[in-house]
Amino acid sequence: MARLTRRSFVTGTSALALGSGILPMPGILRRARAQDGPVKIGCLFSSSGTMANIEGRLNDVVKMAAAELNAAGGVLGREVEVMVSDPASDWPLYAQIGRQMLQQEGVASLFGCWTSVSRKSVLPVVEQNNGLLFYPLHFEGDENSENVVYLNSPPASSVLPAVDYLMSDDGVAAKRFFMLGSDYVWPRTINKQLKGYFESLGFDSSSWREEYVPFGFSNFQSLVQEIRRFADEPGGQPVVILTVVGSSIPDFFREFANQGIMATDIPVLGLDALEADFEGLNTEELVGHLNCWAYLQAVDAPENETFMKNWADYVGANNVPYPPNVVIDPMVSAYDGVKFWAMAAEKAGSFDVPEVRSAFGGLSFSDPSGYNISMTSENNYVSRGVFIGSLNYDSAFDILWQSEGTPKPVPFSEFG
């Protein structure tokens, strides 16, 4: 609440000013959707604000994917041009820039958003303009728009398997759950569904507790004390289900380790925790904490080796300010998105959204996660595999469990 000040407003507007410096001025635009020039795609990823550290690198992944397409002759014979912006972790700005890209720049599709609140802001814009948004994050589900391609998994195929694992004997036979999240739609919906799921399994409402913190919150001292207090109550093995986002993730883990809690005492399932969140953190005291994604860097697959090598080469060649050796799920998902879009456009023989959309059904390829991922014609969800990762000494995640195949995504949750 303290952050809703004049300053953050002014920061936002100025970032827009900076952003419009990156975008060409509307007045000197080529005619939108020229038939012979390059085809434009737009990126909506923040490289400033609380999401900057992790979200920013997706801009470069999309550029890398476009460069690969161009090296192979472009899409439908046309070069792909990527437009980058900086919505500055300011949710309304995503919608504003998205509208500008669709209406003034005539981009063929948008790739963007990390937090669900930013996606919810862009949603009406892509629907009104009949645009196409490729969204690379796993999220709370309960949404099905024909203008959004959900590249990652809804909770039924990512969060629930991870929670099931925690409740199994191979996990820790978890009986009690401390749900800690940032205060917005994704954590609240995930936790609502989890509570419904726990109830359906016969858990009593005293076996969970919910806490929310503001965006960018960093002072986790008393919350970690609350977690210790919760853990010391009788009733069985406690776990933390962490849905804080952005810079709060490393702050939380640092305090967690500082208070001497180990993963074998109270494991944390970090639903938004990625390799990149542990850069600069001493993970020795944090080994064993869990996350779940549709891709982990430790995947042993030739597609993954190629992708990691390409990213390292791209970072080296273009002086990208991100580490060359860290690849995270949303990067792979964004890359998958560009690939799906190109495949669909080639199949449809057109860049027009209705045609591209009708070409989605049946598309599939082996992505860096090693699974053969696919789309159906029923909805714009992608079937992905699921991994549960265990944090190791090198700030990376080892694969503890992975799904047999690619579960069919269920957009709407039956639990709440």
Partner 1 sequence: MFSRLTPLLRGLLGLMAVLTPLVCGEAAAQGAGAAEVPLDRAAIAAGLCTDAGDTLDRAADALGDASDDDLAFLRRITDALMGRNLVCGETVAIKSGGGTVDALTGAPADASGKTPVLNLRNRASAENLGAALTLLTPSSASDRDRALRVLARRPQGVSAAALARAAEAALDDASRAAIEELAVVASLASEDVSERIAAVEALARTPNRRNLGRLEALKGEPAYEGDTAFRDAVDAAIGEASTWVRIADALSVLFSGLSYASILFIAAVGLAIVFGLMGVINLAHGEFIMIGAYVTFMVQEVLRALAPALVDWYLILAIPFTFLVTAAIGVAIELLVVRHLYRRPLMTLLATWAVSLFLVNIVRVTFGTQNLAFATPSYISGGFTLIGDFIVTQNRLFAIVFALVVLAATWLILKKTPFGLNVRAVTQNREMASAIGIATRRVDMLAFGLGSGLAGLAGLALAPIYNVNPLMGTNFIIESFMVVVLGGVGSLAGTLIAALGIGQINVLIEPIWGAVAAKVIVLLLIIAFIQRRPEGLFAAPGRRK
- Residue (151 or 388) nearer to partner 1, CB: 388
**Stretch 332-371: interaction string toward partner 1, x if CB under 8 A:** ----------------------------------------
Q: Is residue 47 a contact point for partner 1 (CB under 8 A)?
A: yes
- Strands in 39-44's sheet, in edge-to-edge order, are 80-83, 39-44, 109-112, 133-135, 148-150
Tally Cβ neighbours within 10 Å of residue 252.
25
Which residues 373-412 are close enough to bind partner 1 by CB under 8 A?
Answer: 390, 392-393, 398-400
> CA-CA distance, 168 to 174, in Å (whole number)?
7
**Stretch 63-82: interaction string toward partner 1, x if CB under 8 A:** --------------------
> CA-CA distance, 125 to 10, in Å (whole number)?
23
> CA-CA distance, 207 to 173, in Å (whole number)?
13
With CB under 8 A as the contact rule, the residue among 20, 38, 52, 192 that binds partner 1 is: 52
With CB under 8 A as the contact rule, the residue among 130, 221, 306, 377 that binds partner 1 is: 221
CB of 393 to partner 1, least distance (A): 5
Q: Is residue 84 a contact point for partner 1 (CB under 8 A)?
A: no
Which residues 150-189 are close enough to bind partner 1 by CB under 8 A?
Answer: 169-173, 183
> CA-CA distance, 266 to 258, in Å (whole number)?
14
Which residues 247-306 are close enough to bind partner 1 by CB under 8 A?
Answer: 247, 250-251, 254-255, 257-260, 262-265, 267, 276, 279-282, 284-285, 287-288, 290
């964004």: which residue's tokens? 334
- Residue (238 or 409) nearer to partner 1, CB: 238
How many chain residues bind partner 1 (CB under 8 A)? 73
Q: What's the Cα-to-Cα distance from 171 to each of 121, 142, 218, 237, rounded to whole Å?
A: 37, 28, 29, 11
Q: Is residue 36 a contact point for partner 1 (CB under 8 A)?
A: no
- Residue (15 or 107) nearer to partner 1, CB: 15
CB of 119 to partner 1, least distance (A): 22
Q: CB-based contacts of 72: which residues, under 8 Å, 6+ apart? A: none
With CB under 8 A as the contact rule, the residue among 12, 19, 42, 56 that binds partner 1 is: 56
- Residue (113 or 151) nearer to partner 1, CB: 113
With CB under 8 A as the contact rule, the residue among 76, 103, 185, 212 that binds partner 1 is: 212
Which residues 304-333 are close enough to bind partner 1 by CB under 8 A?
Answer: 321-323
Amino acid letter for position 257: A
- Residue (128 or 221) nearer to partner 1, CB: 221
- Residue (150 or 215) nearer to partner 1, CB: 215
Q: Is residue 130 a contact point for partner 1 (CB under 8 A)?
A: no
Region from 21-29, 60-68, 144-152, 223-231 binding partner 1, contact rule CB under 8 A: 223-231
Which residues 99-118 are close enough to bind partner 1 by CB under 8 A?
Answer: none
Rounded to the nearest angstrom, the gap between the alpha carbon of residue 355 and the centroid of all alpha carbons in its chain is 27
Q: Is residue 11 a contact point for partner 1 (CB under 8 A)?
A: yes
Q: What's the Cα-to-Cα distance from 12 to each of 29, 44, 86, 386, 413, rounded to whole Å?
A: 25, 15, 10, 36, 34
> What value, to the nearest 5°, has the Cα angle with vertex 349 and ends 347 and 353?
90
Structure tokens at 98: 């998205």
With CB under 8 A as the contact rule, the residue among 95, 223, 241, 375 that binds partner 1 is: 223
> What value, to the nearest 5°, has the Cα angle with vertex 196 and ends 191 and 202?
125
Output the 3-class SS for 267-288.
CEEECCCCHHHHCCCCHHHHCC
Q: How many residues does the chain have?
A: 416
Q: Is residue 217 a contact point for partner 1 (CB under 8 A)?
A: yes
CB of 225 to partner 1, least distance (A): 6
């944390």: which residue's tokens? 268
- Nearest Cα residue to 120 out of 90, 95, 147: 95
Tally Cβ neighbours within 10 Å of residue 166.
22
